Chains A and B, each alone.
Chain A
Amino acid sequence: MTTHSEIHDDLSFEDSYNFAYLDEQTKRMIRRALLKAVAIPGYQVPFASREMPMPYGWGTGGVQVTAACLVPDDCVKVIDQGADDTTNAVSIRSFFERTAGVATTEKTTDASLIQTRHRIPETPLTEDQILVYQVPIPEPLRFLEPRETETRKMHALTEYGLMHVKLYEDISQHGHIATSYAYPVKVDDRYIMDPSPIPKFDNPKMDDCPALQLFGAGREQRIYAIPPYSKVKSLDFDDYPFSQLRAPETCAICGADDSYLDEMIIDDDGGRMFVCSDTDFCASRQNEQGFEPAEVAS
């Protein structure tokens, strides 16, 4: 009998799976939805999301989109909040190594397809890359209007006043637009779209991006897309223009002053440090500078 540990000893390609795990009919269904999504930028195309061998919230939508797009010579990178080495990223990467036999990488520049949870890499993307976002709640109006029948009408009629009221209420309560992640955007001057919970620091990277951007929401059964070089505008007001947000610090390890930073609590006395959220960006800067790993002051 094969023991559990023996199965997990071999993480290489298993050809007992169909290529990229999903059956062919499922892939065709997802592929048809993807083409519609690209043809109608920002519109959420319903699709018959399948159960995947991982729980909802772990990127089942992104995994299905990636599986439908993969070709054998792809090189896949998976990031979770900017990191390549966290549980979600590691498990999805090994999932595609095993079920599709594709190469994987942690380097943004080497990847042909990048699946991401809640970040856009700092390194600019190219025309040869596809960025697949994992999306928890695809409907940007959902927390303002819980009924799907109503939000669907609002999109149909371009009735987006409610979203501006929400941003206005931010200003009236906080003096500025306090929404700092999942900041709503308008795509190609038509649909308001949830960019998934990326920090609003990343929003400008979506505009005029050379790479194709695909969004998959597994539990909510929606796929949407931004074609390359599309206009993506973060919503704002003339007198309260959109602004990026990052901690006013430099990375404690690589010294970057232009990357998105994570705040790390390092002791019980309020000590903290800021480091790049994008681990590949930070590591490549350390390499360039010949850095030894920094010692953390306590």
Chain B
Amino acid sequence: MDASSLSGGFVDHAVQSATAFRDLLQAMARPGLIFTMNGTEPPAPLSIAAGVAVLTLCDADTMIYLAPSVDNDDIRSWVAFHTGAPFASSRVADFAIGKWDELFEIKDFPAGNDEYPDRSATLICSLPALVAGKTRLTGPGIKGAHWLDLPDGGDEMRRVDLYPCGRDLILTAGDQLAALPRTIHLETG
């Protein structure tokens, strides 16, 4: 661990994490809306938005899976110092961090069970850019439709076929953040 892993976290944790959570809550409640996050400077290639999500939601009670693109010593020691969260395999992860394509390839993230569909992983998925696009989002939280530019595979990653089991996505690109819970229906128009 070097000194850089000690910096780049929240300065005023209680207030910054409260503000960040309020945006995360609204992002999850209004899927497809894009929020701008700030307050963290995680080591590359972890984005600001992913850093904020991790610092707001993760602690010693949550297992984190790091996909290969973000599994380096700098990120490990930064996450360990700021959250105390243990690292784990994808099979038991509460949170997973990585690129969309990487996380898509991993099939064994928990999706909960019929009695406890909440015992599922939340995938913090980075995209090259988070912009309105050709994928049409409909479902709870959305009046009419929202539009995002998403790669293929969103339904398989979330396991929407298992609803109410399934996984929820937090999408990040730089300081931009949006969410895609398991309830949302995707159509490519």
Inter-chain contact B59/A38, CB cutoff 8 Å: no
Q: Is the CB of A188 within 8 A of B140?
A: yes
- Closest Cβ of chain B to A134, distance in Å, is 19
- A233 → chain B, closest Cβ, in Å? 13
Q: How far is the CB of B92 from chain A (nearest CB, A)?
A: 16
- List chain A residues, Cβ under 8 A from B19: 71-72
Select the residue from A36, A70, A153, A231 with max chain B CB neighbours within 10 A.
A36
- Docked Cα-Cα span, A38 to B28, in Å, equals 7
Which of A31, A68, A191 has the most B CB atoms < 10 Å from its CB? Answer: A31
Contact of A156 with B114 in the complex, beta carbons under 8 Å: yes
Which residue of chain B has its CB nearest to the CB of A152? B115
Q: Which residue of B lies closest to A36 (CB)?
A: B118
Answer whether residue B101 sits at the interface, using C-beta atoms and an 8 A cutoff. Answer: no
List CB contacts (< 8 Å) of B52-85 with chain A.
56-62
Starting from the known contacts A35-B28, A228-B29, 20 additional A-B residue pairs (CB-CB under 8 Å) come to A19-B14, A27-B18, A31-B24, A35-B122, A36-B118, A38-B25, A39-B181, A40-B183, A46-B118, A69-B25, A71-B22, A72-B18, A156-B115, A188-B183, A190-B163, A191-B164, A227-B29, A227-B140, A228-B143, A229-B142
- Asked if A43 meets B25 with Cβ closer than 8 Å, knowing A31-B56, A71-B18, A72-B15, the reply is no
- At the interface, yes or no: A162 with Cβ under 8 Å from chain B? no
B17-54 CB mask vs A (1 if < 8 Å, else 0) is 11101101110111000000000000000000000000
Partner of B29, one of A20, A36, A38: A38
Chain B residue at minimum C-beta to C-beta distance from A100: B18
Count of CB-CB pairs between chains A and B under 8 Å: 111
Task: Point out residues on B near A: beta carbons under 8 Å.
Answer: 13-15, 17-19, 21-22, 24-26, 28-30, 56-62, 114-118, 120, 122, 140-143, 163-164, 168, 181-183
Q: Give chain A residues whose Cβ lies under 8 Å from the Cβ of B13.
A: 24
Q: Does A235 contact B (CB under 8 A)?
A: no
Q: A41 CB to closest chain B CB, in angstroms?
A: 5
